[in-house]
């Protein structure tokens, strides 16, 4: 994402200060993302995409191609997890989705809540735990999800998640976003 973010920002003639102002993120944080020293959450990626006036998948795409009626990503062609490769990270599971509103990601959440703030954004989220256990914190309630469990919620509800248990969790997260 780091190279794509910088390219898209520069293509629009935006400075880091301008992008920080449009997203509500700090210049320091954005600089770290561009230098691949920090990995933005999905909520942050949605804010960045909106500020850059692009679809969120364009932040992850390695090369841009024309729109297609569908997106097929074979197992061996899937984007590697964004992150350090050892711990938390995520990967977009589609490409060329154009104006579609479903955004599927493969997530390996951190073992601790990486940010004291809760995430919230337009749309809905669906989580399916493929491996391990995940705790979802909704401020006033925490929900423990185990392998095979699924959770669907309004993404405007403040939320955050983390892996719990002996082995790292891996889950499918599908975000339905709206342009509002």
Q: Domain for residue 24, yes or no?
A: yes
Q: Domain for residue 64, yes or no?
A: no
| Torsion angle in degrees (nearest 10) through CA of 118, 119, 120, 126 | -110
Sequence-distant (≥ 6) Cβ neighbours of residue 89 within 8 angstroms: 39, 81, 82, 83, 107, 108
Q: Domain for residue 144, yes or no?
A: yes
Predicted pLDDT of residue 64: 46
Show the tokens assigned to 51. Answer: 């500020």
Q: Domain for residue 30, yes or no?
A: yes
Judge if 30 and 90 occupy the same domain.
Answer: no
Judge if 47 and 110 occupy the same domain.
Answer: no
Predicted pLDDT of residue 131: 94
Judge if 151 and 86 occupy the same domain.
Answer: yes
Could you list the pLDDT tens digit for every one of the 180 residues in the chain?
Answer: 555 788 888 888 899 999 999 999 999 999 988 887 887 877 888 889 889 988 777 776 655 445 566 777 787 777 766 665 456 677 778 765 555 678 888 888 888 876 678 888 888 999 999 999 999 999 999 999 999 999 999 998 999 999 998 888 999 999 887 665
Q: Count how many domains the chain has.
A: 2
Judge if 136 and 83 occupy the same domain.
Answer: yes
Domain of residue 24 covers 2-59
DSSP annotation string for the chain = -HHHHHHHHHHTT--HHHHHHHHT--HHHHHHHHTTSS---HHHHHHHHHHHTS-GGGGT-SS-----S-----GGGSPPPEE-SSSSEEEE--S--TT-SEEEEEEE--SS-S-SSPB--SSEEEEEEEESEEEEE-SS-EEEEETT-EEEEETTS-BEEEEESSS--EEEEEEE----
CATH number of domain containing 125: 2.60.120.10
Q: Domain for residue 99, yes or no?
A: yes
Sequence-distant (≥ 6) Cβ neighbours of residue 154 within 8 angstroms: 124
Q: Domain for residue 163, yes or no?
A: yes
Judge if 96 and 171 occupy the same domain.
Answer: yes
The pTM is what? 0.64
Q: Domain for residue 66, yes or no?
A: no
Predicted pLDDT of residue 19: 94
What sign for the dihedral angle of Cα 122, 54, 36, 22?
Answer: negative
Judge if 105 and 19 occupy the same domain.
Answer: no
Specify whether the CB–CB gap between 135 and 162 falls below 8 A: yes
| Torsion angle in degrees (nearest 10) through CA of 3, 9, 12, 16 | -150
Judge if 82 and 151 occupy the same domain.
Answer: yes
CATH number of domain containing 43: 1.10.260.40
């Amino acid at each position: 994402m780091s190279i794509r973010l910088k390219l898209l920002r520069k293509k629009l003639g935006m400075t880091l200060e301008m992008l920080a102002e449009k997203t509500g993120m700090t210049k320091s944080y954005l600089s770290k993302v561009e230098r691949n020293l920090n990995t933005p959450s999905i909520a942050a990626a949605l804010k960045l995409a909106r500020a850059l006036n692009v679809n969120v998948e364009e932040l992850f795409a390695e090369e841009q191609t024309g729109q297609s009626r569908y997106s097929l990503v074979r197992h061996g062609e899937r984007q590697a997890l964004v992150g350090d490769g050892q711990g938390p990270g995520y990967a977009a599971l589609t490409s060329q989705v154009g104006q579609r509103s479903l955004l599927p990601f493969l997530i390996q959440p951190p073992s601790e809540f990486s940010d004291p703030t809760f995430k919230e954004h337009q749309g809905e989220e669906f989580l399916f735990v493929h491996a391990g256990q995940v705790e979802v914190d909704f401020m006033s309630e925490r929900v423990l999800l185990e392998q095979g469990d699924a959770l669907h919620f309004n993404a405007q509800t403040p939320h955050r998640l983390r892996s719990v248990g002996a082995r790292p969790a891996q889950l499918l997260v599908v975000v339905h976003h709206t342009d509002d």
